[in-house]
Structure 1
């Protein structure tokens, strides 16, 4: 009697390419579909929310107590968020990332100022209401993730595949605040060079919106780009010479084209 054919595992082994794709979707996202549990019925509730990331890559959202998903999270913090732009053609042919975990509300004693700074850099119009008493930041503590890179490219991921271990890099939070302001105020030309040379983006008044151990986040209006470091710096003091070197390399690249 013939043995039944062994079913093929639909999931691919997670490799460096898959991790980079997932991290890119996460770092570039400006919004996502947030899934929570309805506090009255316990049924699924999906809403759209604006998004930013913490230094380690964890998703951060800003919500009002008037919103349905805030009431849901207050009762049950379990949630997931779907990221990825559909683009042209078949929406299922484009990469998307689902993050599953628990959302933690950030109180006054938490890292609110850091999250506020990074969130407003990505969503400056939120400055109109970010300090209203009914608004709070939430950070999603990722338990697992599912990456679909297109047809036949599915991966099950762990937090280690997506997030940065910030051990030994705690000083980066203070460094980042000053560095982002300094680069935008005094080195706007270099920021634009990063976008044009490394991200193949059009010329414009690009802003540096975030800096973390693995790269830079850049924005021009609603357009977001990500510059990944080839070799992540091991300490905050290594970032300044790295930014200088990248500006020099950007000029050389553009001059050669």
Structure 2
């Protein structure tokens, strides 16, 4: 996987002379966000009111290239819209985001939503049911069919001031972050049991003093914290001392970083 510095507009944090902290690319973050999601907002082009977008709540599965798979009924308005014009967008938002929703990550995928080819239906069915087991009760109804979005472009927003386009080819070559399935547990554990350690890590590695620190995101290269400082709420990213690939490695690196931070206290 590649590493990039995020493109940013002016953000809420203070300017510093510190070098950029390595982060996953927008393509990797998009792939991770879509992987973690289960339900999104699908916008199709209305047949009734030409040119107007028509929004629908849409559960989805994913194939091995990260393309969304839908199980939809011919009676649904969005299906009728797609049969008339396959152009659509899918908005996937960060799950369980707290506080300010505009600070959460989200991505809009643009593409053509078409029926899954007959030769690929078995795989599509299996992948979809892995995510939505209850669909087994209606998956074989005659009016339901599998559709798939062939993504042509996407726009990623990583919170305040972090945004940019992601090409379909970059997305296709990326994989979900190795911590994707455990990041929620890591964040919950750190915020519940190690808030003092987060304050210490922010002081040592981000050079920011705070009275309270909350981990808001984590990936193989590092993590984000939201800090309560005398100047107000601030955000910071802290790099891991070494890249991690699973929950056990993450715990080991965090323990080592906390030990280092404590050794710096005079």
Normalised by the shorter chain, which TM-score bucket? 0.5 to 0.7
Indicate the RMSD between aligned Cα atoms, in angstroms. 3.4
Structure 2: segments with no counterpart, 5+ residues: 1-7, 10-22, 175-179, 189-218, 221-245, 256-266
Give the match's secondary structure for 1:24. Answer: helix
Relative to the length of structure 1, the TM-score reads: 0.59
Q: Residue 164 and residue 129 in structure 1: after superposition, are their counterparts in 2 closer, same or farther (change >3 A)?
A: farther
Which residue does the alignment assign to 2:147?
138
Partner SS, residue 39 of structure 1: coil
1:28 is aligned to 36
SS at match of 2:128: helix
Q: How far off its partner does 1:151 sit?
A: 1.2
Aligned to 1:99: 109
State the SS of the aligned residue for 2:25: helix
Look up the match of 2:48.
40
Aligned-partner Cα distance in 2 for 1:132–1:89: 41
Please state how far the C-alpha of 1:17 moved relative to its aligned partner.
2.8
Q: How does 1:1-257 map to 2 (within 5 A)?
A: 16-42=24-50, 43-85=52-94, 87-107=97-117, 109-164=118-173, 200=186
TM-score normalized by structure 2? 0.58
Question: How many aligned positions are there?
Answer: 176
Counterpart for residue 199 of structure 2 = none
Where structure 1 has 5 or more consecutive residues not aligned to the other structure, the ranges are: 1-8, 166-193, 203-226, 229-248
| CA-to-aligned-CA distance 1:128-173 (integer Å, 9 cap, x gap) | 00111111111101111000111111111110121249xxxxxxxx
